[in-house]
Amino acid sequence: MKQLITLAVLLLSFTMYAQKYDGLAKTPPMGWNSWNKFACDVSEKHVREAADAMVSSGMKDAGYKYIVIDDCWQGERDSLGFIQPDLKRFPSGIKALADYVHSLGLKFGIYSDVGWKTCGGKTASRGHEFQDAISYASWGVDYLKYDWCSSEFLNAKGAYITMREALYAARRPIVFSICEWGDNKPWEWAAEVGHLWRTTGDISPVFDSVVNHGTWNSFGVMQIVDKQIDIRKYNGPDHWNDPDMLEVGNGMSNNEDKAHFTMWCILSAPLIAGNDLFNMSKETKEILTNAEVIAIDQDSLGISGYKYSSVDGLETWVKPLQNGDWAVCYLNRSKKEYDLNYSWQKNNIVDTLTGKKADFEKDKYGIRDLWAHKDAGTTNKNFTAKIASRDAVLVRLSLKK
């Protein structure tokens, strides 16, 4: 009855078009989500282990903070319509799990869907948005991923605004992750609705191909990268293009994982790990916790990088950074090693979106190789490197006074 009274009070005091909670995602969110590794087999044990591993592995210290349960945590609704967890999988309940995550200095996230059913066939939020927001707030949820299955006859912007309003009315700051798959161009309208929005369909742990699931397709890393090229202008602090969760550690080669992670950082994408944190390899941990590479993603300007050139399977991407620095990525999409001999003087940078420039004929920059963790001379000389197949080299340029 108390929950019902609370809901009535909130509805009476609710003002249409309140707003989203601003300032919750000034840099791209970093965390972990259960779906890519566990899908509908997720359990309380998995989530607790992931939270423990985020701390012990050094990921928390590297900036990761959200532990997000994806689909299939739901049970049924009670007699008043409030959502309950599946107590077989989550015997302690969601609030106790959130409290445990918070006790480690982390934040807690959960999943729902705009439709009657989630993508996994579980109870979703349609018609119960305000009740669900109350439940999330009472449990201590900090992040909501909101999916787009069973969305027949719904207007995308309207459906997501409804949940935005519900979250605001529940009076708990919750990062709102719009998972609409890019079907309705959310980059054009979602900045006032949520903090991040999916730009494509689901990712798969493959580097460069489309995976056919019969009635739908998922995409490799390169296919998703290609879909980001024309939407960089919509990216920025508190409103992020989301090319989906990371597949680092889920079956690709180490080179492919490194290139994948590099490109997400060049794009200023959310870094939401999707591997088994409790059992990850040394190589996977080194990729996910590379502080110098993460700093490119988390740069306070929040400017997405762009493709500067493409020659013989080698793409050069550039990204403006704070203090006049630049990130430059050399992405080898080919199946052969590439011998790079890059002349800076022949490749001055002019970013037409931001107006930022790098004149290598006039100015000298120091070069820092972020995967090798070493300085690599200055832009007064050509930059040389051997780039393995399906790998990337990432450097940071800093102006020399």
Helices (H) and strands (E) in the chain, counts: 11, 22
Q: State the Cα torsion 206-209-214-217 to the nearest 10°.
A: 80
Active site residue 147: yes
Catalytic residue among 202, 238, 276, 391, which? 202
- What whole-number distance in Å separates Cα of residue 217 and Cα of residue 210? 7
Active site residue 202: yes
Strands (E), 23-127: 30-33, 66-68, 74-77, 83-85, 107-113
Three-class secondary structure of residue 269 per DSSP: coil
Alpha helices in 57-85 (DSSP H): 59-62
User: Would the CA dihedral through 271, 275, 276, 277 be positive or negative?
Assistant: negative
- Residue 278, phi then psi, degrees to nearest 5: -70, -25
265 Cβ partners below 8 Å, 6+ apart?
271, 293, 294, 296, 297, 327, 394
Catalytic residue among 113, 142, 147, 257, which? 147
Q: Is residue 33 packed enough to be buried (19+ CB in 10 Å), middle (13-18) or exposed (0-12)?
A: buried
- What whole-number distance in Å separates Cα of residue 243 and Cα of residue 241? 6
Cα distance between the two ends of the chain: 67
Contact criterion met (CB below 8 Å) for 271 and 279: no
- Of 333, 261, 318, residue with least CA distance to 290: 261
Measure Cα distances from 5 to 8, 81, 125, 138 in Å.
Answer: 5, 13, 20, 14
Within a 10 A sphere around the Cβ of 258, how many other Cβ atoms? 24
- What whole-number distance in Å separates Cα of residue 187 and Cα of residue 190? 6
- Report CA 258 to chain centroid distance, whole Å: 16
- What whole-number distance in Å separates Cα of residue 261 and Cα of residue 248? 7
Catalytic residues: 147, 202
